[in-house]
């Protein structure tokens, strides 16, 4: 789903919504999605979301991202050209952690 741009937006919205429902987070999924359209702010929003998901999943006993959320996001940003494999794994791992919540 993450390969198609418009579907990717829906996927992000559903992740924000699912995370809010599972952890009672104090933010609006719509606001989070709108902030993803602002350059540099979008990187912060995704980084914060990845860190929060990883923290919540580790509390439930799931494994997190390889090398942590920050390092893995940097790998995805700088090595996305390798057939998108780091980003596809990011989608897989994030959904796997959300499923444990």
Do 100 and 60 contact (CB within 8 A), yes or no? yes
pLDDT attached to residue 81: 67
Inter-CA distances, 70 with 33, 49, 75, Å? 20, 11, 9
pLDDT attached to residue 8: 81
- pLDDT (tens digit, 0 to 9) for every residue of the chain, 101 residues total? 666 778 888 888 999 999 999 998 888 999 999 998 898 898 899 889 888 988 888 888 888 887 888 888 888 778 776 666 777 788 888 888 888 88
pLDDT attached to residue 24: 87
In a 3-state reduction of DSSP, which class is residue 51?
A: helix
Closest to 52 in 3D by CA, of 99, 86, 2, 97: 97
Please give the Cα distance from 26 to 47 (Å, whole number). Answer: 17
- Predicted TM-score (pTM) of the model is 0.80
Do 95 and 65 contact (CB within 8 A), yes or no? no
């Amino acid at each position: 789903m993450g390969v198609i741009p418009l579907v990717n937006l829906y996927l992000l919205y559903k992740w924000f919504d699912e995370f809010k429902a599972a952890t009672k987070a104090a933010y609006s999924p719509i606001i989070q999605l709108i902030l993803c359209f602002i350059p540099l702010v979008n990187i912060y929003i995704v980084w914060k979301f990845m860190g929060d998901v990883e923290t919540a999943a580790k509390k439930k006993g799931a494994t997190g991202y390889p090398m942590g959320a920050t390092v893995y996001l940097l790998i995805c940003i700088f090595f996305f050209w390798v057939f998108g494999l780091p980003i596809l794994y990011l989608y897989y791992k994030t959904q796997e952690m959300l499923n444990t919540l």
